[in-house]
Amino acid sequence: MLEGLEILIPAFAVCVLMAITHTYFGLHVLARGIIFVDLALAQVAALGVSVAFLLGKEAHGSEAQLYAFVATLSIAFAFAKLRNIPNKIAREVTIGIVYVVATALSIVILSRSSQGMEELKSLFNGNILWTSWQEVSVIGLMYVLLALIHAIYRNKFHQLSFAEDKPNCQKEAPGFFWEFLFFATFAVVITLAVNVAGVLLVFAFLIIPAFSASLLVSGFVKQMLAGWLLSIFGCIVGLLFSYQFDLPVGATIVSILGILPIMSAIYAKYLK
């Protein structure tokens, strides 16, 4: 049992860090109506790692992370321009194209290596169960720095996401720099998470708890707190199930998180 805890606790620590940051960004994404932007950024990060892997770099090493950062920050700059597109459907289509092309390029690139498909599977599913305390420390430090940026300039970021559909407010909305800073910090959060958790789990943590919380309570702060609790609950149950029954950890946690919107909808309709 002690050996099991030594494995599970670092993974749980990463889940807590992801719950705190990803729920926050998830609520912004839902408000903006660009649901798949996180999935697209996660896949672009995976594409950066794929390029590094093809060039002989260690897939989870610092050099591969640098490739992933450059890739996601480049796309973050492009996504910051999406506000200039008035049609939300056109924005979502653009994001979808980025996701599917990044996925296809990752497959093409990794197909050139005999171990490429295994690495693609790893990028998709992650390896959170084998997270080291060093990785937890790096992620935690970066997330604290990013949280400080968003805390200091919370009004700027809040206005960008939640005043977008109000014509009068939109004219006074912060400019391109703040939009890019939002997506750049978002990209950093996702890149760090993809390295240990994989694309599948990152997307689930960003959208499912935030959406479930929005069904239960109103108001940004209340939804964020509820999303944290739901994320951590899903993580605990998923980790225990995956360890006890030798199941793939990422897919197991996502499966547990997938129950949350159903439970939230039932509660909101019949018990609230």
What's the total number of domains in the chain?
1
Q: Rounded to an integer, what distance in angstroms lies between the CA atom of residue 8 and that of residue 22?
A: 20
Q: Report the 10 Å Cβ neighbour count for 245.
A: 8
Q: Rounded to an integer, what distance in angstroms lies between the CA atom of residue 123 and that of residue 129?
A: 14
CATH of the domain at 157: 1.10.3470.10
Q: Kindly report, residue by residue over 189-245, the tens digit of the pLDDT.
A: 999 999 889 899 999 999 999 999 999 999 999 999 999 999 999 999 999 998 888
Q: Kindly report, residue by residue over 48-100, the tens digit of the pLDDT.
A: 999 998 888 888 788 988 999 999 999 999 999 888 887 788 888 999 999 99
Whether residue 247 lies inside any domain: the answer is: yes
CB 127 within 8 A of CB 196: yes
Three-state secondary structure call for residue 58: coil
The whole-angstrom distance between residue 166's C-alpha and the CA centroid of its chain comes to 27
Whether residue 140 lies inside any domain: the answer is: yes
Domain that residue 60 falls in: 2-265
The full length of the chain comes to 272
Give this prediction's pTM: 0.90
Whether residue 270 lies inside any domain: the answer is: no
